[in-house]
Amino acid sequence: QVQLVESGGGLVQAGGSLRLSCAASGRTLSRNVMGWFRQAPGKEREFVAAIARGADWLNYRSSVTGRFTISRDNAKNTVYLQMNRLKPEDTAVYYCGTSGRQLTAAQAMGVLAYDYWGQGTQVTVSS
């Protein structure tokens, strides 16, 4: 079992920044890919960013490229999402996921590739 706990969400004005954290506990040694997804009201959960265990690859959805940065600290079993120049359309619940499989960057964009999820943290960007 793996437990994921997200933190760092909140209310911010457009153009502002937030840093999300996701701490993993439990059987984390085999965790390969860590990813961030988001879900706005009435919409499906969508891919935001993912990172391989050794940071061999990073992947971002196009609308956040250049604004968001994903990173991980394997010693702390934590993944981060630095979000800059936030826009109202970034408003959503952000979820952290992890997969024990060795995924490609493309495969990591799929919700079904992940076997554990956190409870989510709300990010609200006001205009």
Can you give the pLDDT at residue 88? 97
Can you give the pLDDT at residue 61? 97
- 106-124 average pLDDT score: 97
Per-residue pLDDT of 16-27, as tens digits, reads 999 999 999 987
Q: How far is CA 91 from CA 37, 43, 46, 47, 54, in A?
A: 12, 12, 12, 14, 29
CA distance 3 to 22: 10
Is the pLDDT score of 40 beyond 90?
A: yes
CA distance 93 to 33: 20
- 72-80 average pLDDT score: 92
How close are the terminal C-alpha atoms of the chain, in Å? 40
Is the pLDDT score of 119 beyond 70?
A: yes
Can you give the pLDDT at residue 120? 97
Can you give the pLDDT at residue 81? 98
CA distance 15 to 83: 10
Is the pLDDT score of 70 beyond 90?
A: yes
Can you give the pLDDT at residue 30? 58
- Top pLDDT among 54 and 50 is at 50
